[in-house]
Amino acid sequence: MYINMNIEDLQLIVETIYQHNPSAYKRGGDVELLNSHIKAMQHLKEVNKIHYKEYNLTDLEALSIVILEGFGSSRFIQEPLYNRRKLNALTEVLIQNLDSALRKAPKNTHPVLYANDGFMRGNNRIGDIFTVNGFFTTSIDDFDNAHSIKWIIEPLPEGQTKAHEIYKIYNHGEDCPYPEYQVEFERGTKFEITDIKKGKEYNVVHIKELPSQTI
């Protein structure tokens, strides 16, 4: 529904949604946050730091990747997938374009992926099968900085997995001493818990990706 739009179309939607909400335009507001990511994407394009052309991404698909790896992921993408009261035309545009962007991104080729905390699940048990409603952000590196759970993920083979190496499109930490090579699972990916190791500071939960339908 929202795949063939451009940035100007998105800004018209924003004007309609927030026309009676001036606080959205102030520092920290939704519009200010969105505009900062649009400017960031435009700069990344100018300095050739986002490889959107190589993967035939539209501007909105590229923007959704920048937001996912930036400071707007929780507000604009993840939270609305868990709380429908936060879903609106803007968040739907970004979510649908991220769906589309991931389908164009290269499939994961790494045998093991890692994540720290992220979505919260209580009462994890070996053998549990669950579906992640949102997008599941992982890395090819183990940063070992979890607060409650470290996830060790065994993805399906390249031809079957719903994990995508988005760092090949945009690596937001490539200039840092320890860059994060981010791999993103499509929303609606299914997993099974295969092992749990309890620790003093956090638990280590081993999961494997299961075949699941594309949303």
Give the per-residue pLDDT at 37: 97
Pairing of strands 129-132, 182-185: unpaired
User: Minimal CA–CA distance to 184: which of 166, 169, 172?
Assistant: 166
Q: What is the pLDDT of residues 69-80, one digit of tens each?
A: 999 999 999 999
Report the candidate in 93, 81, 71 with the shortest Cα–Cα distance to residue 27. Answer: 71
* Mean pLDDT of the residues in the chain: 92
Q: What pLDDT is recorded for position 213?
A: 85
What pLDDT score was predicted for residue 199?
86
Length of the chain as a residue count: 215
pLDDT at 175: 67
CATH 3.40.50.2000 at 113-210, yes or no: no
Q: Cβ distance 158 to 109 under 8 Å?
A: yes
> Domain ranges in the chain?
7-104, 113-210
Give the closest residue to 10 by CA, choosing from 101, 92, 86, 65: 92
Q: What is the pLDDT of residue 120?
A: 63
Q: What is the pLDDT of residue 176?
A: 66
Contact between residue 168 and residue 183 where contact means Cβ atoms under 8 Å apart: no
Q: Nearest CA to 185 among 119, 92, 88?
A: 119
The pTM for the full model equals 0.93
For residue 200, what pLDDT is reported?
85
Q: Residue ranges of the chain with pLDDT lower than 70?
A: 1, 118-120, 174-178
Contacts of 114 by beta carbon, 8 Å cutoff, 6+ apart: 138, 139, 140, 141, 142, 143, 150, 151, 152, 153
